[in-house]
Amino acid sequence: MRRDCIEMTTSSELVYSTSICPVSRQQLIELMKKSLSEKRFNHVLRVEEMALKLAEQTGESLEKASIAALVHDYAKERPDSEMIQLIKSGNFDQELIQYGNAIWHGILGAELIESELGITDSAIKSAVRLHTTGAKEMSLLDKIIYVADYIELGRVFPIVEEARKLAFADLDQAVAFETYHVLLYLMERNLKIYPKTVETYNQWVAKK
């Protein structure tokens, strides 16, 4: 198992390197608790639990998996008016405004965790940015957060157990499975599909 810049305390609590995250894990948890509703906060904790299991199995940094999981929904419950203003005033694709918070919160959240929390690590920011859309090219950490968010133990839907088993058997196949079923869900409901989600499908699902 890779440890990188991480240690385990006697209480099995992760200790973050200040070069990766300026606050401790417990402080980060408290920040998320203050920033999110109880329901969303509990979801975040479950995503961290799942992300750590996937990171341990695949050799990814436990530290980065923990941090990315805890902050992945940092912007999820921000008012639409605030998010739209950020899109208009920032260096973002203005078409984002058409797609709503389900897409915004990852893309904008990646910037907010830097400006508000001081988390500048590019791998963590990428995992937050891509956790709802995926991408044509995804790092191991990107894939872990993308899948952990989908299969955390609070999720209840008909194929979730299949998705969980697949995640621990073949993470790439789990990415493909999730992408296919998310796209199917959107199409069955005639919902607008963000272009990057289509790119993810073409790379990970479509037959070459």
41-92 pLDDT, tens digit each: 999 999 999 999 999 999 999 999 999 999 999 999 999 999 999 999 988 9
Report the SS3 class of residue 14. strand
Residue numbers in the chain where pLDDT is lower than 50:
1-12
Check: pTM over 0.85? Answer yes or no: yes
CATH 1.10.3210.10 fits 7-157, yes or no: yes
Give me the pLDDT at residue 111, please. Answer: 97
Domain positions in the chain: 7-157
Three-state secondary structure call for residue 15: strand
* Long-range contacts of the stretch 148-156 (C-beta < 8 A, 24+): 148/47, 148/48, 148/50, 148/51, 148/54, 148/69, 149/47, 149/72, 150/178, 150/182, 151/50, 152/43, 152/46, 152/47, 152/49, 152/50, 153/46, 153/49, 153/50, 154/42, 154/43, 154/46
pLDDT of residue 90: 87
Contact between 122 and 110 under an 8 Å Cβ cutoff? The reply is: no
